Amino acid sequence: MTGEELKKKLLDAGFFPGQLAKKLNISHQSMYAKLARNDIRLGFIEQLCEVTGLQLADFIDVPRNPNESALMDMLNRKDDIILKQAEEIGRLKEKIASMQ
């Protein structure tokens, strides 16, 4: 992640570099120097998490697996699926009982 990307995420979350410099006990110049880097260190992001209350996941974009959303939909519908299966089992039991 670049410093510019990090700065945008912080601003979008309502945090300004000057405020964060004070919370981190570093100078404004040091804060802006960190945000000017092409590659932000994980330790710095962890410090930001501590002072902002944000989580690491708020800073890192993780690509989603296209199959993940289908799986989540199925998990969300699991109760309906189980109910339909239970109803079908009941119908099959009745059919078997009527054949005996």
Find how far residue 28's CA is from the centre of its chain: 30
State how far the Cα of 89 lies from the Cα of 42, in Å rounded to an integer: 53
For the segment 42-61, what is each residue's pLDDT rounded down to a tens digit?
A: 999 999 999 999 988 888 77
Domain spans of the chain? 3-59, 66-99
Residue that has been written with the tokens 């994980």 in this structure = 42
Multiple choice CATH, 3-59, 1.20.1250, 1.10.260, 1.10.3470, 2.30.29:
1.10.260
For the segment 60-73, what is each residue's pLDDT rounded down to a tens digit?
A: 776 566 666 777 77
State how far the Cα of 39 lies from the Cα of 89, in Å rounded to an integer: 58
The two tokens of residue 9 are 């995420």
* Spatial contact of 20 and 31, defined as CB atoms under 8 Å apart: yes
